[in-house]
Structure 1
Amino acid sequence: MNTTRRSFLATSAALTGCQLLPGHRGGDWIDAHVHVWTPDVQKYPLARGFAVSDMQPPSFTPEQLFAHCRPEGVRRIVLIQMSYYQTDNSYMLDMMRTHPGVFSGVAIVDEKAEGVAETMRSLVRQGVRGFRIHAGSSRNLSDWLGSPGMATLWKTAAELKVNVCPLINPDTLPLIDKMCEWYPDTSVVVDHFARLGMAGPPKAEDLRNLLRLARHAKTHVKASAFYALGSKKPPYLDLAPLVRQVRDAFGPQRVMWASDCPFQVDHGHNYHNSIALIRDRLDFLSEQDKTWMLRGTAEKVFFSAAAV
């Protein structure tokens, strides 16, 4: 098969996943943060400590996702490994293979396990472009981030030219800042504005700590999870100052929009209002800003070649 034909088939496959509706304004957008799972727990067992009743909604498959993203012009998606499966990334990887060209992936690995670097390499060969880190039940955040396993994870991510993706609360920002100093070659993507505004108005110190990360050239922020931040009410215009400050500090080339589905389509919220905040409702965002935040940044970070 020649290169031209391979490129044509790859492009065609990508278009089948989230094809734009005819006449849609703009488009070719990327949703940088979505979780999927299946009710088929026989084929894809839940991790220890999770029950079927924990899966809310009971099902959120790619097909269910496409019903929300297609009408809004979203053609590619970054899948984030769901906690229900912990380090068994099988379902996410299978969905990536089933929909070639549509999905990138962020996996979960056990940084304390032997051979974590090779596990990461194997996952990157399968299309993974990031690794989620989350303190979980860790009581000492400093020990967690400063552990030998975490050092291996950050170093290996840099070697593979993929990303470390912290799901953190604002109190962890100074530690992430320190890790960025120690591992300046590691690309970092902070989820959901580091959850500023999830538990009340953002503290000035927390906002300064988030914006301080902008001095690290390989650090990015997801403008996402609007349903959970600020007033938690659409159209989410109360989040405009936060979006603007992050855009100003990092530049649009290091900010990416994401929905955090399926939680964004829970009661009282919908997919349209999430993407519309960035695409339609903030007059301080230029068309170039929107193009970066809705496609360019995520494309560069999660859909580029890795070093494997």
Structure 2
Amino acid sequence: MTRPLTNTKGVTMAWIDAHIHLWTSDTESYPLAGGQTAADLDPPDFTPEMYLRHARPSGIERVVIVQTGYHQFDNSYATDAIKRFPDVFSVIGIVDETKENVQEDMEALKAQGVRGFRIGVDYDGPQWDRLFKAAARTGQAMCPITHPAGAPAIKEMAAKHPDTTVVVDHMTRVGEMEPINDAHIAQLTDIATLPNTNVKISRLHALGDGPPHDDLIPMIKQVIDAFGPERCMWGSDSPYQVFKETMEDSISVVRDKLGLSESDRDQILRSTAERLFFS
């Protein structure tokens, strides 16, 4: 474990950013998926070093890399970051759910530090039940990204597979495509009735009205009330967060603006992600 960071007053701030993306313009060493070229990369690259320059001043010590479609099933750039920065990174990867032997791929990736897998919410076909069952056996999380209308499908799969850990990305992106509304929040918080579900308070740069993000505070409080701090974690969604705004614009919402107790703040900014992705 790396030594906990302290701020200028000597206060420990060993936070975990539970959601970032990394990729590289070195497409010879790390080929792009699906016919993409270097011209498709936006930004051209976002390396561990680039991320850490933004993260360290805000007290972020450990980080969960979420695999992107740029490299898709080749998770090696993310897992190589674990090798280069021991005890700093963990990975949520992507696997080909259509493969009959997908569990073998999941187990091999777990040995490399992959603790969960990013998925969509179009759960037609037997491959999804196979994937969720495999995740229960391997102890890896299913991490769906969706829009508000996809929340019921997430709940259905989480209920069907109670031994599988589910981590919902970006609060189902409530407030991204249309204004925040009570119906969308209710669909999100309804997922919380299942004890195997968790949620990321993340991608704030794309939700609501922009910084200082005060308009998001009522929704975030409802999410925390529904899931409990022990099932909530914060993520920046960098590089997009740090290119559109600053790291402080996002982390300060949870750290400073929600009126959380010290223990609840530490739970959301560290302990939940630590339990799911670093233990």
TM-score bin, normalised by smaller chain: over 0.9
Match for residue 264 of structure 1 among 233, 241, 249: 241
Cα pair 2:63 2:88 within 8 Å, conserved: yes
CA distance in structure 2 between the partners assigned to 1:215 and 1:302 by the alignment: 22
Give me the whole-angstrom Cα distance separating, in 2, the residues matched to 1:93 and 1:21. 29
In 1, distance between residues paired with 2:247 and 2:36?
A: 27
Letter in 2 for 1:252: P
Please give the alpha-carbon distance, in whole angstroms, between the structure 1 residues aligned to 2:74 and 2:166.
Answer: 22
SS across alignment from 1:164 = strand
CA distance in 2, matches of 1:111, 1:65: 30
For residue 94 of structure 1, give the secondary structure of its aligned residue in structure 2: helix
CA distance in 2, matches of 1:41, 1:63: 18
- After superposition, give the CA deviation of every residue in 1:143-193 in whole Å (9 maximum; x if it has no partner): xx1421111110111111220000111111111111111101110000000
Q: Deviations over 1:244-275 (max 9, x none)?
A: 000101100000000000000123x1111111
Residue of structure 1 in register with 2:175 after alignment: 197
Q: State the partner residue of 1:138.
A: none
- The range that moved more, 238-247 or 23-32, is 23-32
Deviation at 1:45, TM superposition (A): 0.8
Task: State how far apart, in whole Å, the 2-side matches of 1:24 and 1:74 are.
Answer: 15
Task: Please show how residues 1-308 of structure 1 align to structure 2 within 5 Å.
Answer: 11=1, 14-15=2-3, 19-20=5-6, 23=9, 25-135=11-121, 141=122, 145-231=123-209, 233-267=210-244, 269-283=245-259, 285-304=260-279
AA partner of residue 266 (structure 2): T
Distance of 1:85 and 1:277 partners within structure 2 = 31
> Alignment RMSD, CA only?
1.4
Largest Rg, 1 or 2:
1
What letter corresponds to residue 248 of structure 2 in structure 1? H
AA of the residue aligned to 1:168 = T
2:6 and 2:51 mapped to 1: Cα distance? 14
2:199 partner SS: strand
| Structure 2, unpaired ranges of 5+ | none
Q: Distance in 1 between matches of 2:242 and 2:214?
A: 18
- Aligned to 1:27, the other structure's residue is in SS state coil
Q: Distance in 1 between matches of 2:173 and 2:219?
A: 11
Q: 1:26 to 1:242 in 2, by over 3 A?
A: farther
Q: In 2, distance between residues paired with 1:60 and 1:72?
A: 18
Q: Percent identity, aligned pairs only?
A: 44
1:22 Cα offset (Å) = 5.1
Report SS of the residue matched to 2:154: helix
Q: Find the aligned partners of 1:257 and 1:35 in 2 and give their Cα distance.
A: 14
Structure 1: gaps of 5 or more residues: 1-10, 136-140
C-alpha separation in 2, matches of 1:107 and 1:19:
27
- For residues 97-135 of structure 1, the C-alpha deviation after alignment (integer angstroms, 9 at most, x for no partner) is 111111111000010023111100111111111010025
Query: For 2:192, what is the secondary structure of its paired residue?
Result: helix
**SS in structure 1 opposite 2:70?**
helix
For the 8 Å contact 1:20–1:75, the answer to whether it is kept is no
Work out whether residues 7 and 13 of structure 2, in 8 Å CA contact, stay in contact via their aligned partners in 1: no
Once superposed, which parts of structure 1, at least 4 consecutive aligned residues long, lie more than 4 Å away?
18-22
Q: What number of residue pairs does the alignment pair up?
A: 279
The Cα of 1:24 is off from its aligned counterpart by: 5.2
One-letter code aligned to 2:84: T
Paired with 1:286 and 1:26, the residues of 2 have a C-alpha distance of 16
TM-score (norm 1): 0.87
